[in-house]
Structure 1
Amino acid sequence: MAKQVAKILDVPFSTLGFRETIADMVERIESGQKTHVVTANPEIVMLAREHQGFRSIVEQAYVVPDGIGIVYAAKWTNQPIYERVTGVELLEALMAEANQYGWNVYLLGASPEVIELAATKLQARYPQARLVGYRNGYFKEEEEEQIVQEIAETRPHLLFVALGAPKQDNWLVKYRERLNASLMMGVGGSFDVISGKVKRAPEVWQKLHLEWFYRLASEPSRWKRQLAIPRFVVTVLKEKWSSRS
């Protein structure tokens, strides 16, 4: 399946819908192709815009539209992105495939309590997936060598890393050649949601495309991060208008 790309503020997004994305990723894993997935919302796009090093990582990754802001931006700029591919849903869908194919899965990141709970819940939900290891994200730089070796030995088909953006993607790229992972993906706060520590927005909020507002109301400390959303909107519209003139 050829992956078509649409650019939003120079970030190359896959234009595949959710089910097509899963089918494409399964094909890549089964054919032995290595893939680095970045789930990008407006905050990630603005990070890539402001940091050259992160932008070069994103330009070489398989970027999916995690955030309704990306879908709206595509609409405003006449680009063929019609559906969100959110990180936590993508993780669950890939786990369902791991359950079917008996893939190896490794989880890295979050707090000790959260990662243990997330690992227990995922293993219970997807018993045929082989959870070959997990480790919390509170490690020192001198421990990284041992962690990389441990992951490499398990040869995971799926490697999910929750260290926050852009740290998780920088870490994956730094060790990519040594991790022996088929598909590696930064998953941000997904383990918090899966463990039950953080509640995802109710379905009605998701359908109204107000999940970002629900999260802000639930965690007011996120307000600084959420400022990326209006900055993203203004930047997209500015570029749209300047391209017309």
Structure 2
Amino acid sequence: MGNATIEVAIEKPVHPKAELFGLPISLAKIDYVLAEMDRAIMAGETGHFISETNTESMYHGKRIESHGKFLRECDFSLCDGVGVVTAGLMWGYRVPRVNGPILVLEACDKGRRNNWRHFFYGGGEGIADEMARRLKLKYPGLNVVGTYCPPFRPLTPEEDEEIVKMINDAKPDIVWVGLGLLKQERWIAAHLGRIKTSWMAGEGGVFDYHSGNIPWAPAPLRALGLEWLFRLIVQPKLRYKRYWWSLVWAVQAILAGLFTLQFLRSKNK
């Protein structure tokens, strides 16, 4: 994110949030999120942005100032993992999960009513195209106005300007960004105010799941909050280190929450 200034939208949604170990997490349920997305799109607002926040994202938010700023200033920092749910309970909150892959599916489905215009930015070569193809088959009438896979290297200023123009020319209502944690948040922050869209959302591995590039955890495992285990089995080398960071934050947040609740209870006796 560097020194990029985060531009605020016309009107940010008002909704309850939990403060977990110094970072906010939304308590909004998915129906409210979708309703706010629709409201902003219908009003022609720009500059709204969403974070799908898991324990790894919270870990980096505590250690990287720009990422913490992103989590604090986004319209919705949505709970995307059972670790955040568990930490929330220790702090006295019931945090609803608004899982990234589910949010994308629901937005594609519900957005057809008002013809939301979707742009998919990110993924490996051909991933965004395949994701768009599959989603259009699943949701007839889905309006995908563009896809783009950027090169796996820093863009030149000229290339970046061309990409901004390409996206703006497509006039999307939502830009779904799948560049991976930290990189996608930096990209969104750097392009707020430059890309004229109502919403940008960092969706990480969603592109791989909905394109079929990587298997999505079966529904029973997702319902039990065991997606992390399935991912670890499917991608052990990639997930091992990342889950270590997640575990560090989860343990710290849970212990801090238990201590805080115990302290408050003792004060109220």
> Normalising by structure 2, what TM-score?
0.85
1:56 alignment counterpart: 69
Q: Which runs of 5+ in 1 are unaligned?
A: none
- 1:231 aligns with 248
2:31 aligned to which of 16, 19, 23: 19
Q: What's the CA shift string for 1:184-235, capped at 9, x where partnerless?
A: 1011011110111111111221122211011101111110001123212221
What is the alpha-carbon distance in structure 2 between the residues aligned to residue 156 and residue 19 of structure 1?
A: 21
Structure 2 residue aligned with 1:92, among 70, 90, 105? 105
Q: Which residue of 2 aligns with 1:163?
A: 179
Deviations 1:76-115 (A, max 9, x none): 110242x210111101111112222112111110112212
Query: Paired residue for 2:193?
Result: 177
Contact 1:47 1:54 in 2 (8 A): yes
Is contact 2:128–2:149 with CA below 8 Å preserved after alignment? yes
For residue 214 of structure 1, what is the amino acid of its counterpart? F
**How much has 1:47 moved relative to structure 2?**
0.7
1:192 to 208, 211, 223: 208
Paired with 1:209 and 1:195, the residues of 2 have a C-alpha distance of 22
CA contact (8 A) 2:121 2:176 kept: yes
| More contact order relative to length (CA 8 Å, sep ≥ 6) | 2
Alignment of 1:1-245 (within 5 A): 2-34=14-46, 35-61=48-74, 62-81=76-95, 83-138=96-151, 140-142=154-156, 143-221=159-237, 222-243=239-260, 244-245=262-263
Q: Displacement, 1:4?
A: 1.1
After the TM superposition, which of the residue ranges 231-240 and 46-55 deviates more from structure 2?
Answer: 231-240
Aligned equivalent of 2:8:
none
Instruction: Give TM-score, length-normalised by structure 1.
Output: 0.93
Q: CA deviation at 1:242?
A: 4.3
Structure 1 position 125, deviation (Å): 2.4
Tell me the distance in 1 between the aligned counterparts of 2:250 and 2:70: 23
SS at match of 1:178: coil
Q: Distance in 1 between matches of 2:58 and 2:66?
A: 13
Report the Cα distance in structure 1 between the residues aligned to 2:146 and 2:250, rounded to whole angstroms.
40
Q: CA RMSD in A?
A: 1.6
Q: Who is 2:9 aligned against?
A: none
Identity level (%)? 25
Native 8 Å contact 1:100 1:129 kept in 2:
no
Q: Deviations over 1:155-212 (max 9, x none)?
A: 2111001111111111111111010010110110111101111111112211222110
Contact 1:43 1:228 in 2 (8 A): yes
The answer for unaligned runs of 5 or more in structure 2 is: 1-12, 264-269
Are 1:109 and 1:163, in contact at CA under 8 Å, matched by a contact in 2? yes
